[in-house]
Structure 1
Amino acid sequence: MHYKFNESKLMEIIFFSQHSDSVNLPNGNGNITESINRSNTDPIKQINNPVVPCEDAYQDSEITEQSQPAPQERNTKPVRTQRKLKTELADDFTITESMQLWYSAQGFTLDAQAATCQWADAMKARDCKYLDWVAAWRNGMRNANKWAAERTSKQISTTQRMGASDGKYGPPEDYR
């Protein structure tokens, strides 16, 4: 939206003529809402103390100068919340009862203790640091069991391709 205003009317409102000692102030719709008497017609004094037509609307509003928050001092820094720091794996890291229950519920095939020892060695070797070591352990157990399943499926498919069956060594049955 674009608005046009009548400059001469605006100037009459701000710097009313010296012949008149009152000013009719319009509201936002252009209707005359109030009349203000002024005895001082000096334009310089009017600039320093202008009549603001919407002054009453600001007084009715909940926002006033008194309710405005005080500006912050320049030397104050914003308050940061304390973040949890990443740590190294503790030497005494062990599987708790709740971790063991989680592991059992997943239906994994690997031994939990053996997989945990291997995972812990890998974490120490890489100097890994985490916020939540239990979550890292769960992720490690998922990966260890996934990789074990992949290795098992590769071994079976390789054995089948070579033609060995039931531990019998020799040419495949359909070999001529």
Structure 2
Amino acid sequence: MKFRDEIRPRFGVMRAREFLMKDAYSFHASKTSLQETYDAMYQAYTNIFNKIGLQFRAVKADTGAIGGDGSHEFHVLADSGEDAIAYSSVSNYAANIELAEAILQDDKRPDAKESMVKFDTPKQTTCDDVAKLIGASIQKTVKTIALINQTNEVNEFSWSLSVATMSLMRLN
């Protein structure tokens, strides 16, 4: 158990400024041993929630900077609370909103076996321009801009790996 002292607690009486939370860390000689322990802990929490009769979902969660390859948070289904989760009522899928995946149902969607194609978009200044250039609807395009305080240094190589950019441009 660890103690956390929130600077700005949210939701008033629903979440106190101070609270206890339980994290688990372990050391293993192999990935197989790690997975066995993870599965046993996952099952232990599942058994606890089932035994006390709570409706819950174990959701895929962000591992943080030192969290490893995978993480789950156990959420009790409730009308109120601080977290929003996405889950299926007909399968075991569940995830935090930040990690939730959705697939657009579209008959014109290309075969998933197609390889990614990188291409230049010279003089295309809007998402509409790029969509027209590549012959796609605007709903199938994404344009991202990240603004970072100029006093902070950016490792452009690491940044491009973490956000899967096709190009990175520094603006002054």
TM-score by length of 2: 0.22
| Greater relative contact order (CA < 8 Å, ≥ 6 in sequence) | 1
Q: Which has the higher helix share?
A: 1
TM-score by length of 1: 0.21
